[in-house]
Amino acid sequence: MFEPIKPWRDFADQVAVLESRGMRIDDRERAEKYLRRIGYYRLSGYFHVFRQWDGQNQVLLETFRPNSSFERVLSLYLFDKKLRFLALDALERIEMAVRVDIVHILGKKDPLAHENAACFDGKFAKTIQANGKTKYQEWYERLEELIRKARQRKISCVVHNLHKYGHLPVWAVCGLWDFGAMSRLYEGMKHQDQNLIARKYGALHGGIFAKWLRSLNEIRNIAAHHDRLWNTRIVQQAAPISTDEYWKKLKNYHPFFYFCIMQQMMQILCPHSKWADRFDELLREFPEEAVISLAAFGLPEHYREWDLWKK
């Protein structure tokens, strides 16, 4: 038996519901404005940490903790929004750089390496899965769809190369990859090729770096789709890192672990970037109080003493 779906409510009614559950609304007009702009359901992900917990029945109640306010919820939402933008800033640079790394290696083997299964690892290119296809075939079918859409949009580099050569060289077609397509292709590269890229960014080998990319792709998708990031539990978890005492303290299901991977890669790609400074400034804006803290983000004490984050 399913519960009935909750009824539709106008924005003023949504504010009234929040008030009835114990949330303080200092400015009803302002609260309605943000509900119109963001949506109740989107904001509800930020309500959870303010709701009361029934320890006896192990359930989260609809009512809010004492002194919970809409302004505090909004501050948490705006912090998370800035955090997502910061993640996307780093991930754009990482994606572009790794894409070049992949293309540089594959293009040397064959300008049409992406069309040549022999350029990839046997498990990727030859092993038949339960669906009767190899991982390479699945990847290439997705690429063909991206090319078809690019032709419809008349993207100039695609139209030019297809008209002149009949094919898209790997350094042209890579512009159609998203982060997921790039990371899956990296996983399919030969091990020695993977390792060349992995060690550039401080990963021990390609298998570890492949998991980094998979995890970073999840962060990217969360940020790009405006989902809650600051206290989410990462599903595509990279292996724990134990190169120093700070890394050993981090949990690989917390977002901060992956911001540390971003920072490690950013130090190599953009050593003079102020990204880490902006990250530090943002953390100081976190609306910390008794019921919420950056421990849920995975931030350890004294992280600023870590060489990775020192100015």
Residue 4 in domain: no
Average model confidence (pLDDT) across the chain: 95
In the chain, the number of structural domains is 2
* 115 occurs within a structural domain: yes
Which of 68, 98, 115 is where one domain is finished? 68
pLDDT tens, 10-24? 999 999 999 999 999
Q: How far is C-alpha 75 from the geometric centre of its chain's CA atoms?
A: 21
With CA atoms as reference, report the closest residue to 226 among 93, 38, 47.
38
Q: How far apart are CA 59 and CA 57, in angstroms?
A: 6
- 158 and 59, same structural domain? no
d(CA 179, CA 124): 18
Model confidence at 141: pLDDT above 90? yes
- Residue 2 in any domain: the answer is no
Quick one: DSSP state of residue 274? -
- Residue 46: give the domain boundaries: 11-68
Answer yes or no: do 218 and 260 share one domain.
yes
290 and 254 share a domain?
yes
Res. 1 pLDDT band, cuts 50 70 90:
confident
* Same domain for 24 and 148: no
Nearest residue to 147 (alpha-carbon basis) of 165, 133, 162: 162
At residue 291 the predicted structure's pLDDT band, cuts being 50, 70 and 90, is: confident
Report the pLDDT value the prediction gives residue 290, as an integer from 0 to 100.
72
Note the pLDDT tens digit of each residue in 228-238. Answer: 999 999 999 99
In a domain, 5, yes or no: no
On whether both 238 and 149 belong to a single domain, the answer is yes
pLDDT tens readout for residues 205-235: 999 999 999 999 999 999 999 999 999 999 9
User: Do residues 211 and 238 touch, judged by C-beta distance below 8 A?
Assistant: yes
Report CA-CA distances (Å) from 85 to 62, 211, 217, 264, 300: 30, 22, 14, 18, 22
Asked if 120 and 182 sit in the same domain, the reply is: yes
Angle at 236 between CA 231 and CA 239, to 5 degrees: 100
**Within-domain flag for 3:** no
Please report whether residue 27 resides in a domain: yes
Q: Are 142 and 283 found together in one domain?
A: yes
In a domain, 265, yes or no: yes
The letter for the amino acid at 53 is W
Identify whether residues 238 and 152 lie together within a single domain: yes
Residues 273-290: tens digit of each pLDDT: 999 999 999 999 999 887
pLDDT at 174: 97
- Domain stops at, among 48, 68, 88: 68
> Model confidence over 95-119: pLDDT tens digits?
999 999 999 999 999 999 999 999 9
Average pLDDT on 76-85 reads 97
Does residue 140 sit in the same domain as residue 273?
yes
In a domain, 311, yes or no: no
pLDDT in tens, 147-175: 999 999 999 999 999 999 999 999 999 99
68, 97, 117 - which closes a domain: 68
* 38 and 156 within one domain: no
- The type of residue at 41 is Y
Both 239 and 264 in a single domain? Answer: yes
Per the listing, tokens 């580099």 go with 157
pLDDT at residue 310, as a whole number: 85
Is residue 249 domain-shared with residue 295, that is, in the same domain?
yes
